[in-house]
Amino acid sequence: MDTTATSAAPIYDVLIAERGDVAADAARVAEQVLAETNGTLDFGIPAGDNA
């Protein structure tokens, strides 16, 4: 998520400046958790096998 671009809603830019970009932070953390748990939650099912 690109937080450097200005949005059409200036209030959103002010909120990000004051509170931080929570949506971007949550997306980053979700990607990190997914990367960390990829090997941990391996059930041995080949990718694309829905049976």
d(C-alpha 51, C-alpha 1), whole Å? 35
What is the longest distance spanned by two Cα atoms in the chain? 49
Please state, for a pLDDT cut of 90, what percent of the chain lies above it.
Answer: 33
Exposure string (b/e) for 15-24, b if CB count within 10 Å is 16 or more? Answer: eeeeeebeee
The whole-model pTM stands at 0.52
Give me the pLDDT at residue 9, please. 85
| Helix (H/G/I), strand (E/B), else coil: 49 | coil
Q: Domain extents for the chain? A: 1-39
